[in-house]
Structure 1
Amino acid sequence: MTAQYPTLEQMGITSFDNISKYRLRREARADVLKVYYHRPAGSLLSRSKKFTFARPQSGVPVEFQKTAQWHQLEDTSPVLRQALVELHQLLKPDAPAEDDTTRDSRQQLLEDLEHMERVMKAKLEELRRQIAALK
Structure 2
Amino acid sequence: MNKYEALSDMGIQNPQEISKYTLRQEGHGDVLKIYYKRKKGSFLPNSRKYKFGRSIKTVLTDGGKQEFEDIYEISPFLLKAVAELDSIVKQKHESIDRKQELLDEIDHLEKVFANKLAELRDKVKEI
TM bucket normalised to smaller = 0.5 to 0.7
Q: How many angstroms does 1:57 deviate by?
A: 4.8
Q: Which residue of 1 aligns with 2:45?
A: 46
**2:27 maps to 1:22:** no
Paired position in structure 1 for 2:6: 7
- What is the match of residue 132 of structure 1? none
Give me the CA root mean square deviation.
2.5
User: Normalising to structure 2: TM-score of the pair?
Assistant: 0.58
Which residues of structure 2 form unaligned runs of 5+?
60-68, 98-127
- Residue 75 of structure 2, aligned match among 74, 77, 102: 77
CA contact (8 A) 2:56 2:73 kept: no
- In the other structure, the counterpart of 1:113 is none
Cα distance in 1 for residues equivalent to 2:73 and 2:53:
10
SS in 2 for 1:74: strand
How many residues in Structure 1 have an aligned counterpart in Structure 2?
86
Bigger share in helix: 1
What is the rounded CA distance, in whole Å, between the counterparts of 1:52 and 1:25 in structure 2? 10
Higher-Rg structure is: 2
- Cα distance, 1:78–1:43 mapped onto 2, change above 3 Å: same
Cα distance per residue 1:41-86 (max 9 Å; x no partner): 43211111111001235678xxxxxxxxx69x43100110000001
Q: 2:39 and 2:3 mapped to 1: Cα distance?
A: 26
Which protein has the bigger strand share?
Answer: 2
Cα distance between partner residues in 2 of 1:89 and 1:59: 33
2:119 aligned partner: none
2:45 counterpart SS class: coil
Q: What code does the residue aligned with 2:82 have?
A: L
Q: Which residue of 1 aligns with 2:36?
A: 37
| Partner SS state of residue 4, structure 1 | coil
Q: Is the 8 A contact 2:17 2:38 kept in 1?
A: yes
In the alignment, structure 1 segments of 5+ residues that lack a partner are 61-69, 98-135
Q: Distance in 2 between matches of 1:45 and 1:15?
A: 11
TM-score by length of 1: 0.55
